[in-house]
Structure 1
Amino acid sequence: MKIAPHHIGAYCNDIEESIDFYVDVLGFRHLFSTETMEGDKPLKMAWVKSDDGVVIELLEQEDKATVAAARACLNHFAVRVPDMDEIVARLNERGVAIEAGPFDALCPFDRPLGEADSDVFTVYGDGGAKLKIMFFRGPGGERIEAVQDNIGAL
């Protein structure tokens, strides 16, 4: 059985605000929106997709306790950026607070990555990868990590 990533789910307080954030700030495409049911509760849903294929399912329920519960358990998801300075400027322009970073992070490997895993980091060597990372929050409180991984190998 082959398991492949499909999407990331993120509960939000206001789905239209979240769609605008992912499209206007992060450059995702809005694939579609719909209204459905989650059990016996009405659910608004929208799917957005990055140029590199990251798909995020945005979810809004009238019962905001679901958002609070999701915020309490979701640590973060990460998006790859080609230029950290560019995303920092974009966030600053739109008044999005940066929670931590950007800072350099070394990611040493306990074993070399193979060619089949070259999509994990843009540039890597046997010893590891040099990264630049930072964290910020989406409009629903979801924690997002921006990773610039084209800095080089250790």
Structure 2
Amino acid sequence: MHSFKGLAHIGLYSGDVEETINFYTSNFDFQVVNERTIEKPDHQWVKVAMLALNGMTLEVIEHSDKSLHKTGNGGCVDHVAIEVENLPEIVTAIRAKGHQFRTEEPVVNMEMLGGARYIYLSGPSGESIELFELLSRNVH
């Protein structure tokens, strides 16, 4: 018998693994759980880091062949959503570090999951990051 258990991780292409690690650890409290370099033929390599936050895992991938950076394996991830509490306080803290958001204020959507607010910013490799707060704790 088999079962599907849920999301294992999100693969995120990066132009610079160390920069991406620093961004996610210093802004969102992710922890590095594994980091390695995989040697490939013809002096190529892939750097991989696994970052974890409360059951959410990002696999950050940097190829020596930078032409693979934006294309990956033929697919893309639209955004990475990080659930938060007290979104206004988090937005203020991240702005204080010099990061800009795509909008001045979070969007409030009462039709989504009983009410939610969210705001987007870009990560160091251009990835879209959504900071997402449920307004009703009865959902989720």
**Any idea what SS the aligned residue of 1:32 has?**
strand
Task: Name the structure 2 match of 1:25.
Answer: 27
Gaps of 5+ in 1: 109-127
Q: Any idea what SS the aligned residue of 1:23 has?
A: helix
**Which residue of 2 is the match for residue 60 of structure 1?**
62
**Which residue of 1 is the match for residue 49 of structure 2?**
46
> 1:80 matched to which residue of 2?
83
1:138 has 2:123 as partner: yes
Cα distance in structure 2, aligned partners of 1:39 and 1:106: 52
Secondary structure of 1:13's counterpart equals: coil
Give the TM-score normalised by structure 1.
0.76
Paired residue secondary structure (1:74): coil
**Gap runs ≥5 in structure 2:** none
Please state if 1:95 is matched with 2:80: no
Q: Which residue number corresponds to residue 7 of structure 2? A: 5
Query: What are the Cα deviations for residues 61-108 of structure 1, in whole angstroms up to 9, with x where unaligned?
Result: 1222222225x8321121100111122112212222112341101235
The amino acid across from 2:3 in the alignment is: K
Cα-Cα RMSD:
2.2
More strand by share: 1
Matched length: 132
Q: TM-score, normalised by structure 2?
A: 0.84
Aligned partner of residue 59 in structure 2, secondary structure: strand
Deviation per CA, 1:27-62, whole angstroms, max 9, x where unpaired?
111112100146874100111100x21000111112
